[in-house]
């Protein structure tokens, strides 16, 4: 892993770190963009083909082709408004709730097209644990936060629920901190604990993916580190897709990196390759902090 001079991991700071590398930028030409040839990996788990997404008349995602591997951490990086979060929301079709949204193309998960009209939307979402930017515990007790999803999917036995709650809280390292107050409101936890609770809540419904949308950006450095460590631990069992603004975070934990710009996948591949030897000029400039 590369090391960079440590600073408070805020969005702006990495740009400063790289600022000495700034060069004059050139206009990007269409040739610069290879429209994402996938990550060049076998056994991809989620496959995006020719995805175009429009909201009203605006073309948000342009011809995205992408493969996401299982049991790895894939970081989606790119400047604000490049469509990272939209892409993530498309994976579990939360984007459906947006007014005027329209998409073309396909996303295959385990060989099932999630846009197929026979595919049950709840099943897709169950497969994709979501961790949002700000932790969003359900308005319930700590216990019920974890048990809610399981109950919803038909688990009624108290004993089994207790077991799941304990197991999941342990898996995110929260059990020791909360085991004596499982019935207190989740909103009483610290923000870092809440985020771990949200992760545990997602894991309780047995997903295959973990989608994280800048999951650490609202957290303090220590909580943020904790979550990152969890991701590294959890990748043994899940495919983790991380949208991040913090390049340093991507450097620390990503196995694969997808760089997006203005709704297009500019470059995608193993983290080492992207960070050390980016093929596209745009990627290079972004990594150097020329634009954000």
Question: Binding to other proteins (CB under 8 A): which residues in 12-31?
Answer: none
Q: Residue 114 is encoded by which pair of tokens? A: 């999630």
Distance between CA atoms of residues 160 and 175, nearest Å: 17
In the stretch 171-190, what mask flags binding to other proteins with x, by CB under 8 A? --------------xxx---
Identified binder of other proteins from the candidate list 42, 97, 176, 180, rule CB under 8 A: 97
Identified binder of other proteins from the candidate list 36, 69, 78, 149, rule CB under 8 A: 149
Say how many residues touch other proteins, by CB under 8 A: 32
Q: From the CB of 87, what's the least distance to other proteins, in Å?
A: 15
Distance between CA atoms of residues 70 and 39, nearest Å: 12
Q: What are the backbone angles phi and psi of residue 88, rounded to the nearest 5°?
A: -60, -45
**Looking at 56-143, which runs of residues are DSSP E strands?**
58-69, 73-77, 101-109, 112-113, 128-131
Identified binder of other proteins from the candidate list 66, 77, 128, 147, rule CB under 8 A: 128
**Looking at 70-200, which runs of residues are DSSP E strands?**
73-77, 101-109, 112-113, 128-131
Q: If binding is defined by CB under 8 A, does position 134 make contact with other proteins?
A: yes
Q: If binding is defined by CB under 8 A, does position 125 make contact with other proteins?
A: yes
Q: From the CB of 107, what's the least distance to other proteins, in Å?
A: 16
Q: What are the backbone angles phi and psi of residue 269, rounded to the nearest 5°?
A: 170, -175
Distance between CA atoms of residues 36 and 31, nearest Å: 12
Identified binder of other proteins from the candidate list 10, 22, 25, 122, rule CB under 8 A: 122
CB 4 within 8 A of CB 271: no
Q: What are the backbone angles phi and psi of residue 56, rounded to the nearest 5°?
A: 55, -120
The stretch near other proteins (CB under 8 A) out of 68-76, 145-153, 233-241, 259-267 is: 145-153
Query: Running DSSP on this structure, what letter comes out for residue 66?
Result: E
In the stretch 55-84, what mask flags binding to other proteins with x, by CB under 8 A? ------------------------------
- Which one, of 85, 203, 208, lies nearest residue 149 by Cα? 203
Q: From the CB of 83, what's the least distance to other proteins, in Å?
A: 17
Q: From the CB of 98, what's the least distance to other proteins, in Å?
A: 8
Question: Residue 51, SS3?
Answer: strand
Identified binder of other proteins from the candidate list 94, 164, 197, 287, rule CB under 8 A: 94
User: Which residues make up the interface to other proteins (CB under 8 A)?
Assistant: 92, 94, 97, 99, 122-123, 125-126, 128-130, 132-134, 136-141, 148-149, 152-153, 185-187, 198, 201-202, 205, 211
């Amino acid at each position: 892993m590369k090391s960079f001079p440590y600073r408070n991991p805020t969005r702006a700071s990495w740009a400063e770190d790289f600022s000495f590398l700034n060069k004059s930028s050139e206009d990007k030409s269409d040739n610069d963009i290879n429209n994402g040839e996938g990550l060049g990996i076998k056994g991809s788990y989620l496959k995006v083909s020719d995805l175009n997404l429009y909201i009203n008349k605006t073309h948000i995602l342009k011809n995205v082709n992408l493969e996401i591997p299982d049991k790895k951490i894939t970081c989606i990086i790119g400047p604000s408004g490049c469509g990272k979060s939209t892409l993530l929301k498309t994976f579990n079709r939360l984007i459906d709730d947006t007014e005027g949204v329209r998409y073309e193309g396909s996303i295959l998960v385990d060989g099932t097209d999630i846009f197929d009209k026979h595919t049950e939307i709840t099943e897709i979402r169950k497969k994709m644990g979501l961790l949002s930017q700000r932790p969003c515990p359900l308005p319930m007790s700590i216990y019920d936060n974890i048990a809610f999803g399981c109950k919803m999917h038909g688990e009624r036995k108290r004993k089994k629920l207790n077991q799941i709650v304990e197991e999941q809280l342990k898996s995110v390292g929260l059990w020791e901190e909360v085991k004596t107050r499982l019935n207190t409101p989740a909103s009483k936890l610290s923000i870092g604990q809440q985020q771990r609770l949200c992760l545990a809540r997602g894991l309780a419904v047995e997903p295959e993916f973990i989608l994280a949308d800048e999951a650490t950006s609202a957290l303090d450095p220590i909580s943020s580190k904790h979550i990152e460590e969890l991701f590294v631990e959890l990748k043994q069992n899940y495919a983790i897709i991380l949208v991040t603004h913090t390049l340093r975070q991507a450097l620390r934990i990503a196995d694969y990196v997808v760089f997006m710009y203005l709704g297009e996948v500019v470059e995608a591949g193993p983290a080492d390759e992207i960070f050390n030897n980016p093929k596209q000029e745009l990627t290079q400039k972004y990594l150097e902090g020329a634009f954000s």
